[in-house]
Amino acid sequence: MAYRRNNGGKLFMTGSIVLYMVAACGAIPINDLLDRASQRSDTLHSLSTTLTHELDSHFPPIGRVIMPRPSMCHTSSLQTPNDKDQALQVSESDLLSLARSLLRAWLDPLVVLSSSANTLPHPAHNSISNKIQELQQHSKSLGDGLDILSGKMGPAAQTISLLPYRGGNDIGQDRISKLINFHFLLSCFRRDSHKIDSFLKVLRCRAAKMQPEMC
């Protein structure tokens, strides 16, 4: 394969190889891309669920009383289907746009979770930190795949709704605040990862021309 070596001795693929890889991904059928995306989104939601349960094992009782409501998640302003029946009424392009918008909205908050995990006052903070890094990797991979999909599905699928995160990098100074804010942010991600997974599964069913009740 064609590589070039930079001054530091590291190997890099030439531009022609990169273009070839992009073209190869673009040649993959939509059904196959949706299968891969659905598998990745399923992993993402399962991992976020596992993380939430791990946090629950050492969560102060008062946290359940004073933790912010789900409506305060930074992605709550995005209008999304409430269930599968509603999702089945939304066009394929709009569903993909919603999934991409939600995923894009978590780029910065996942960085906040990752940087905060190591100092989280939780006995399993090392395990939590590792899983947050996995979330970041899976999110990046899924995002790259959805970008390719959107290019195949037209302009509407390429539309992104901006959902800026304004929570800052500090999740709190005291133990209770850190646990509550970390848990809240993760619970918002878990909710959104479930939406993304549901939308992609509906898209996969439609592409496979399955009956709606089987989606």
Q: Can you give the CATH number for the domain in which 74 is found? A: 1.20.1250.10
List, for residues 144-199, the tens digit of each pLDDT value: 999 999 998 888 889 999 999 998 888 988 988 999 999 999 999 999 999 999 99
**φ/ψ (deg, to 5) at 4:** -125, 155
* 170 domain-assigned: yes
Which residue in 190, 195, 10 sits closest to 84, CA to CA?
195
**φ/ψ (deg, to 5) at 81:** -60, 145
* 1 domain-assigned: no
* 24 domain-assigned: no
* 40 domain-assigned: yes
Instruction: Give the chain's length.
Output: 215
* 192 domain-assigned: yes
* 144 domain-assigned: yes
- Provide the number of structural domains found in the chain: 1
Q: Using CA atoms, how far apart are residues 133 and 65, in angstroms rounded to an integer?
A: 29
* 180 domain-assigned: yes
List, for residues 18-55, the tens digit of each pLDDT value: 333 343 444 678 888 999 999 999 999 999 999 999 99
Q: Using CA atoms, how far apart are residues 28 and 19, in angstroms rounded to an integer?
A: 15
* 22 domain-assigned: no
Range of the domain at 56: 29-214
